[in-house]
């Protein structure tokens, strides 16, 4: 799981910082290159909501783990269901627009699989 975070989340690695550079052959003696430093907004958004959910998921799981040892204290309660409900419409919209982003949200962000699936056609 942690290896996937390094692969899926945008960070400083050669693939990430070289992918926006494109070369064009206007003049074969002097190739021109363009730098597109902007991330794809839809890709960024999918990763942002995946990371947000993953953090809440981990906090919720750790709270449950600590409750087992120290009892049900308020500081251990992280309401994952409330967070999922709060962001559900946005996340569902992202997932329905792009299959890759749906995979990012469910596999990397651990959003509930059934929430992100497109409605069944009858």
Enter the pTM of the model: 0.68
Residue 60, C-beta contacts closer than 8 angstroms, at least 6 positions apart: 78, 79, 80
Quick check: 94 and 87 in contact, CB under 8 A?
no
Contact assessment for residue 105 and residue 53, using Cβ atoms and an 8 Å cutoff: yes
| pLDDT value at 17 more than 60 | no
What confidence tens digit (pLDDT) does each residue in 33-90 have?
Answer: 555 555 678 888 998 999 999 999 999 999 999 999 999 999 999 999 999 999 999 9
The answer to whether 76 and 67 have CB atoms below 8 angstroms apart is yes
């Amino acid at each position: 799981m942690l290896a996937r975070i390094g692969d899926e989340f945008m960070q400083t690695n050669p693939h990430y910082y070289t992918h926006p550079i494109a070369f064009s052959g206007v003049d074969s003696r002097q190739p021109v290159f363009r730098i597109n430093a902007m991330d794809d907004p839809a890709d960024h958004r999918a990763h942002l909501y995946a990371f947000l959910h993953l953090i809440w998921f981990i906090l919720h799981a750790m709270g449950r783990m600590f409750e087992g040892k120290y009892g049900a204290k308020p500081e251990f309660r992280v309401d994952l269901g409330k967070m999922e409900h709060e962001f559900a419409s946005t996340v569902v919209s992202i997932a329905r627009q792009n299959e890759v982003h749906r995979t990012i949200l469910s596999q990397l962000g651990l959003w509930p699989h059934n929430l992100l699936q497109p409605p069944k056609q009858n």
